[in-house]
Amino acid sequence: AIGAIGEALAGLRVDADAMRANLERMQGFVFAEAVTVALSDSLGRPAAQALVERICRRAFDERRGLRDALADDAQAAARLDPQALERLFDPASQTGSASAMIDAVLARWESPAPHSG
């Protein structure tokens, strides 16, 4: 299994332009959970989920991006200013604590295993 993973990773190439194009093709719907979390602070989780679901459905039906639909919704716009929307729809801001977790795993992997005795 490790050999197969190594083989797969050896051929892996990051294509930032293709990744950006895929995100754009999703019209912002990939950020719906981040928007829900942001709105949960002021609305509570169930109400935020219901609001984002309604806005997503409307945006999808109207063939619009989620960000534009959020900006046009009075309830969402009252809680998410343009700067907040900018942050929520920035892929770089959506990595959470991934870097810290990766660093911790690599540090454990690189450190010598403790000897039992």
pLDDT in tens, 49-104: 999 999 999 999 999 999 999 999 999 999 999 899 999 998 887 777 778 888 88
Per-residue pLDDT tens digits for 10-31: 888 888 899 889 888 889 999 9
59 and 89 Cβ atoms separated by less than 8 Å: no
The torsion region of residue 73 among left (phi > 0), alpha (psi -120 to 50) and beta comes to beta
Q: What is the pTM of this model?
A: 0.70
Q: At what angle do helices 45-61 and 32-43 cross, to 10 degrees?
A: 140
